[in-house]
A = this chain, B = another copy of it.
């Protein structure tokens, strides 16, 4: 039996470079093409290896996607920043993260088309975003709704800017986007009522 999991603790394998190359190529393809059009054959070609290697290391296409879309938003601890800056910090962090990590775009593209992708996005929302938001919102029982509102604004900007590329959104300097979105997110985080 071949070990296929991602070496937690084991000593380095000779194939680690190949595994990494596959993962990198997969992230790029999933990000730019979405799940269905990103073919294993193309990913293997990008990584310079045979398609069957992908199967050997990641089982099947779904397993490859699961591995490629595993990532950490690295959300800041909002309780540690001045309360009135939480919105700006959060928006700035998200946009920066989106521009540096194409896995985010991959997840977004796949989440919209593929049930498994959507499920993973829901998991990220629940495990990473909701807790981060709960740390600053005044009413814990409404933290979920607040997190959803925050995500709706940030996700919408990401879609407009990085996926659909509406000219005014894609061309807007990041600082300007942050300046417009920050008060919105701030309100969703902390306002007593709409």
Interface on A for B, CB 8 Å cutoff?
Answer: 33-34, 36-37, 108-109, 111-113, 118, 121-122, 125, 144-145, 147-149, 151-157, 159-161, 163-169, 172, 176, 179-184, 187-188, 194
- A24 and B76 CA atoms in complex are apart in Å by 46
Best-buried of A33, A160, A176, A183 by chain B (most CB within 10 Å): A160
Known A-B contacts A145-B172, A184-B184, A194-B179; the reply to A112 vs B156 at CB < 8 A is no
Q: Is the CB of A147 within 8 A of B168?
A: yes
Q: Is the CB of A169 within 8 A of B152?
A: yes
User: Closest 3 interchain pairs by CB?
Assistant: A156-B156, A36-B36, A148-B168
- A144 and B176 CA atoms in complex are apart in Å by 14
Known: A37-B113, A112-B159, A180-B188. 17 other contacts (CB 8 A): A34-B112, A34-B113, A108-B112, A109-B112, A111-B163, A113-B113, A118-B164, A122-B164, A145-B172, A148-B166, A148-B168, A148-B172, A149-B169, A152-B157, A152-B169, A153-B153, A156-B156
- A176 and B160 CA atoms in complex are apart in Å by 24
Q: Is the CB of B111 within 8 A of A164?
A: yes
- A133 and B122 CA atoms in complex are apart in Å by 32
Q: Is the CB of A164 within 8 A of B112?
A: yes
